[in-house]
Amino acid sequence: MLKWILILVFFTQVYSAAQAQVTNYRLYDKNSGIQAATAESVQLSRFVPFNGRPSICFTLSKTDKTVENGKRAEVFFKAEKTLPVERWYAFNIWLPASFVYDSLPEIVAQWHGTPDFDLGENYRSPAVDLMIQKGEWHLETRWASQPVNDNNSLTGSFTGKSSIPFGKTITEKWTQWIFHIKFSYNNDGLLEVWKDGAKIYSRKGPNYYNDKLGPYFKFGIYKWEWMKPQNTKVNKRTLYFGDVKLGDNKATINDFLGDK
């Protein structure tokens, strides 16, 4: 397992104490790190710039060593300390021409829960994730109101799941994503999604697990099916992220629109 923290370049815009705080990351601060097999798995790149600035290139091969029990090349952030918690996330994704159709899915952004190990929990699927499968974008959401849960609906410890298609992927083009999420396992939760400036999804209600800690955000490539003997011709994935922004509960959609 290889973990390290990048030496970071970041820019912060603070409008006032009463207004939003939005942080624009190129590479990340002491609250983030990388989960990847090699130092070449996550790199700054000028090959596909975003508005003239370097993007972040993620590369994952099927033969890469397992990292954190999976095949992944991801940036991760520290978990939120409380629930419910309201946050904004914006990022742009470029899929190169080599990003061909595959029946096996990959997660490109996820909001993961931290198990309550003292209660006997183990790691579960992410509460919210943006996924690509069979040439289409998908949004998956999972939630549970019970203090101890394991994603298994048959045990009665998994409350609900939602899977929504978000249209076909397009290569050689930046696709902007904006997520506004109030993470909660109660009915006060909220999940809103904008794609290329258009609001495409809104759901009120639970969207998280009944955990002591809030979610931690990850983005890049996570292809868990490569851990199994699967029949696929795809053995390598590369994609790019540009202009990753995080906003607090006082941010609004206007802080993120127009960044493409």
Task: State the CATH number of the domain containing residue 235.
Answer: 2.60.120.200
Is there a domain that residue 236 lies in? Answer: yes
Is there a domain that residue 81 lies in? Answer: yes
The radius of gyration of the chain's CA atoms, rounded to the nearest angstrom, is 18
Total domains in the chain come to 1
Is there a domain that residue 260 lies in? Answer: no
Is there a domain that residue 62 lies in? Answer: yes
Is there a domain that residue 70 lies in? Answer: yes
**Percentage of residues of the chain with pLDDT beyond 90:** 72
Going by their DSSP bridges, the two strands 128-133 and 106-112 should be labelled as: antiparallel
Distance CA 242, CA 95 (A): 12
Distance CA 9, CA 172 (A): 26
Task: Check pLDDT > 60 for residue 8.
Answer: no
Segment 148-197, tens digit of pLDDT: 888 765 455 667 899 999 999 999 999 999 999 999 999 999 999 999 99
pTM score? 0.89
Domain hosting 38: range is 3-255
**pLDDT (0 to 100) of residue 2:** 30
**More confident: 40 or 157:** 40
Task: Check pLDDT > 80 for residue 3.
Answer: no
Residue 69 CB neighbour total at 10 angstroms: 10
**pLDDT (0 to 100) of residue 61:** 96
Distance CA 234, CA 245 (A): 30
**pLDDT (0 to 100) of residue 10:** 35
Distance CA 217, CA 157 (A): 24
Segment 46-94, tens digit of pLDDT: 999 999 999 999 999 999 999 999 999 999 999 999 999 999 999 999 9
